[in-house]
Amino acid sequence: MQGATKQPIAVVIILYAFLIAVAITCLLPFYSMFITSTHANSDIARRLLLIPGDQFMANYERLIDTVNIWRGFLNTVFITVTATAINLYFAALGGYGFSKYQFRFKGFLFLFVLGTMMIPGQLGIIGFYKLMDAFHMLNTYWPLILPSIYNAFGIFLMKQFADSSVPTEIIESGRIDGSGELAIFHRIVLPLMGPAMATLGIFAFIGKWNDFLNPMIILFDNELQTLPVMIASVKSQFSSDFGAQYVGIVISVVPILIFFSFMSKRIISGVAAGAVKG
């Protein structure tokens, strides 16, 4: 009996030790980033940094002297929040349509949507630039926001979730009560798709927040540039200012961590609520 009671405890200890090791491994890059931002360029280039330094404010002052980092921060927040909201809404609308409606060529159109995921976005950057030039949208935020209306992965994710978690009976009940199709979608379907939208929101937010290529090509005015482009431009004629760049990276990463923390709680609460209802 004594050996039987000790074995589960040993397994639990090993499991917790493994999880702690995984957590430390995941957090180590963030720790290194914060620590590096507090040191001078000479220390960053010369040795491994494990303890905090005293150069954070000096690096920050050089950063704001080089670029308008907080203007870039606000630009990125506006673009990311707007594009993510549009992305989530239209992905949910498209996924719901493919899941619950019957129409001609439904299977072919859905396969076509999935097929576009195989085409790298970089292949169309020249055509996209010429199209935006023809529409006189260069050096504006429209080319960075409007493409978020279409997201093949988002439509696929929402369709799969709607197939399994949005009962057709609830939709039929809404129709019997006299609700229109959009009213059913807004009042019934969207709340049920909360966990899937939270998952997609994390991917969409991080992807748009870290977008570097499109803003660099589309935006010409420095005051309109986003945070990743501004951070990459923090360099002198012959060398990069690593200390200032790391401070900029810290400023850029903190909102992502906050957003991820908030949305992950939404995912967990939604899954738990679904389990209780089931």
For the chain, which residues make up each domain, given as ranges? 67-233
> Where does the pLDDT of residue 248 fall: very low under 50, low under 70, confident under 90, or very high at 90 and above?
very high
Residue type, 269: S
Stretch (H or E) spanning 77: helix 69-100
Contact 150, 204 (CB under 8 A): no
Out of 3.30.390.30, 1.10.1740.10, 1.10.3720.10, 3.40.630.40, the CATH code matching 67-233 is 1.10.3720.10
pLDDT in tens, 95-138: 999 999 999 999 999 999 999 988 888 888 999 999 999 999 99
Mean pLDDT to the nearest integer, 19-35: 91
> Where does the pLDDT of residue 90 fall: very low under 50, low under 70, confident under 90, or very high at 90 and above?
very high
Assessment of whether the complete model's pTM goes beyond 0.75:
yes
CA–CA dist 245, 63 (Å, integer): 7
Contact 253, 178 (CB under 8 A): no
Residues 6+ positions from 192 with CB-CB distance below 8 Å? 165, 166, 170
Q: How far apart are the first and last CA of the chain?
A: 38
